[in-house]
Amino acid sequence: MAMTITRRGFLKSAAAAGVAATVAPASAGAEVHPPGWSGAARVDKIASNCDLCFWRCGVLASVADGKVVRVEGNPAHPQNKGRLCARGNAGTGLLYDPDRLKTPLLRTGARGEGAFKPVSWDEALDFLAGKLREIKEKHGPESVALFPHGIAASFFIPLMRAYGTPNIGMPSFAQCRGPRDVAYKLTFGRPVGSPEPLDLEESRLVVLIGSHLGENVFTSQTTAFSTALARGAKLLTVDPRFSTAASKSDWWLPIRPGTDMALLLAWMNVLVTEKLYDREYVEQYTSGFNQLAEHVKGLTPEWAAPLTDISADRIRETARAMGAAKPAVLVHPGRHTTWYGDDVQRGRAMAILTALLGAYGRKGGMFLPTSIKTGGFPTPKFPVAARGRADGAGGRFPLAGEEEGVTNGLVDATLSGKPYPIKAWITYAQNVLGSIPQQARTLEAIMKLDLMVVVDVLPVEQTRYADLVLPEATYLERYDPPMVVATAKEPFISVRMPAIKPLHDSRPGWWIARELARRLDLLAWFPWETPEQHLAKLVEPTGVNLAELVATGAVAFPGKPYLEDRPSDERVFPSPSGKIELWSKQLADLGADPLPRYTAHEQPPTGFVRLLYGRAAVHSFGRTQNNEPLHALMPENAVWLSTATARAWGVADGQRIMLENSDGVRSDPVLAKVTEGIRSDCAFMAHGFGAHAPGLRLANRRGTSDNALISRVSVDPLTGATGMRVNFVRPVRA
Ligand code: SF4
**pLDDT, mean over the chain:** 93
Check pLDDT > 80 for residue 532. yes
Mean pLDDT over 644-670 rounds to: 97
With beta carbons less than 8 A apart as the criterion, state whether 601 and 261 touch.
no
- Residue 33 is predicted with a pLDDT of 58
- Residue 6 is predicted with a pLDDT of 28
List, in sequence order, every residue forming a beta bridge with 731; answer none if it has no partner.
659
Ligand 1 centre and the CA of 655: distance in Å? 33
pLDDT band at 24 (very low <50, low <70, confident <90, very high): very low
- Ordered alpha helix ranges (H), 326-479: 343-356, 407-416, 432-435, 439-448
Encode pLDDT of 704-728 as tens digits. Answer: 999 999 999 999 999 999 999 999 9
Q: In what order do the strands lie in the sheet with 483-485?
A: 483-485, 492-494, 554-556
Atom of ligand 1 nearest to the CA of 84: 7
Check pLDDT > 60 for residue 18. no
Q: Exposed (0-12), middle (13-18) or buried (19+): which is 232, by Cβ within 10 Å?
A: exposed
User: How far is 529 from 526, CA to CA, in rounded Å?
Assistant: 8
Question: With a 6 A CB cut-off, is 135 part of the ligand 1 pocket?
Answer: no
Check pLDDT > 70 for residue 329. yes
Which range among 17-21, 497-501, 622-626 shows the weakest confidence by mean pLDDT?
17-21
Cα-only R_g, the chain: 25
Check pLDDT > 60 for residue 150. yes
Encode pLDDT of 205-227 as tens digits. Answer: 999 999 999 999 999 999 999 99
Encode pLDDT of 251-281 as tens digits. Answer: 999 999 999 999 999 999 999 999 999 999 9
Check pLDDT > 50 for residue 614. yes
Encode pLDDT of 458-517 as tens digits. Answer: 999 999 999 999 999 999 999 998 899 999 999 999 999 999 999 999 999 999 999 999
- Residue 9 is predicted with a pLDDT of 29
Q: What is the DSSP letter of 151?
A: G
Ligand 1 centre and the CA of 625: distance in Å? 15
pLDDT band at 596 (very low <50, low <70, confident <90, very high): very high
Check pLDDT > 80 for residue 16. no
Check pLDDT > 80 for residue 452. yes
Atom of ligand 1 nearest to the CA of 55: 5
Which range among 32-46, 335-349, 521-535 shows the weakest confidence by mean pLDDT?
32-46
Ligand 1 centre and the CA of 219: distance in Å? 6
Encode pLDDT of 346-355 as tens digits. Answer: 999 999 999 9
Question: With a 6 A CB cut-off, is 219 part of the ligand 1 pocket?
Answer: yes
CA angle 427, 429, 432 (to 5 degrees): 55
User: pLDDT > 70: what percent of the chain?
Assistant: 94
Mean pLDDT over 634-663 rounds to: 97
Encode pLDDT of 370-380 as tens digits. Answer: 999 999 999 99
**Closest C-alpha to 308, from 94, 1, 704, 734:** 1
Encode pLDDT of 175-190 as tens digits. Answer: 999 999 999 999 999 9
Phi, psi of 596 (to 5 degrees): -65, 140
pLDDT band at 130 (very low <50, low <70, confident <90, very high): very high
- Beta-strand ranges (E) seen in 366-514 are 424-428, 451-456, 468-471, 483-485, 492-494
Ligand 1 centre and the CA of 90: distance in Å? 10
Ligand 1 centre and the CA of 730: distance in Å? 35
Mean pLDDT over 399-420 rounds to: 95
Question: With a 6 A CB cut-off, is 29 part of the ligand 1 pocket?
Answer: no
Domains and CATH numbers, the chain: 7-98+485-498+529-556 (2.20.25.90), 120-175+373-471 (3.40.50.740), 194-368+576-589 (3.40.228.10), 609-731 (2.40.40.20)
Question: With a 6 A CB cut-off, is 90 part of the ligand 1 pocket?
Answer: no
More confident residue, 490 or 42: 490
User: Which among 72, 84, 221 is the best mutation to test ligand 1's pocket, defined by most ligand atoms within 8 Å of the CB?
Assistant: 84
- Residue 12 is predicted with a pLDDT of 31
- Residue 32 is predicted with a pLDDT of 59
Question: With a 6 A CB cut-off, is 129 part of the ligand 1 pocket?
Answer: no
- Residue 401 is predicted with a pLDDT of 84
Ligand 1 centre and the CA of 688: distance in Å? 17
Ligand 1 centre and the CA of 218: distance in Å? 6
